[in-house]
Amino acid sequence: MKKRIFLFLALAAVIVSGVFAQNNWISFEQKGPGAGLRYEYVITPRFTLSAYFSYTYIIIPILEEQENSIEAGATVRWYPFARRFFTEVSFGYNIFEYFKREYDVYRNGAIYSHYDFRKDGDGFCIAPGFGWTIDIGKMGGFFLSPGVKFPITLADQFNITIAPYLGLGVAF
């Protein structure tokens, strides 16, 4: 009896793993000096649904600028040719902060005045974008996913940015 139960469970595991093969993708995304994680579920060869979390921190010392943001949400991707290219739209929540220091200078080089510009907020974020999913080696294993998103945060302070990213992931 125990052998039959074991064989049944082994066969069920093989069948279930075949049914769900390559429907789950997980990737680490590099976004400029920030990073994120994404879990993606394949609904059909043309549509996927994913959840993501990312953090970005950018400093431009020459311009005395810095920007950081935290994003979390869900993404729908459409592969129009059921191949590598995709378009996407993400819906989520974004917390951002932007800071810039500017100087006014006399002609003789003396500093006349300076002021700080700060813009921060949080709110609902819509991020359309596009990219590619490129298999590395055999299909359904490791993959690269370069792309670009355009997050638009709708809050008391409106914010729009360009966010290129590179994902490295695995299908399981």
Q: Tokens for 97, please give them.
A: 């902060």
Could you read off the pLDDT of 15-25 as tens digits, one per residue? 444 444 568 99
How would you classify the pairing of strands 163-171 and 142-149? antiparallel
pTM above 0.75, yes or no: no
- Token pair recorded at residue 86: 């995709």
Q: Which two tokens stand for residue 70?
A: 């935290």
pLDDT in tens, 115-159: 677 878 788 999 999 999 998 877 778 999 999 999 888 877 777
Could you tell me how many helices (H) and strands (E) the chain has, helices first? 1, 11
Q: 88-102: per-residue pLDDT in tens?
A: 999 999 888 888 877
The predicted pLDDT at position 118 comes to 80
Q: What does the pLDDT average to over 68-79?
A: 93
Could you tell me the two tokens for 146?
A: 């370069």
| Residue ranges of E strands in 47-110 | 47-60, 65-78, 85-105
Q: Please check whether residue 47 is in contact with residue 78, taking contact to mean a CB–CB distance below 8 angstroms.
A: yes
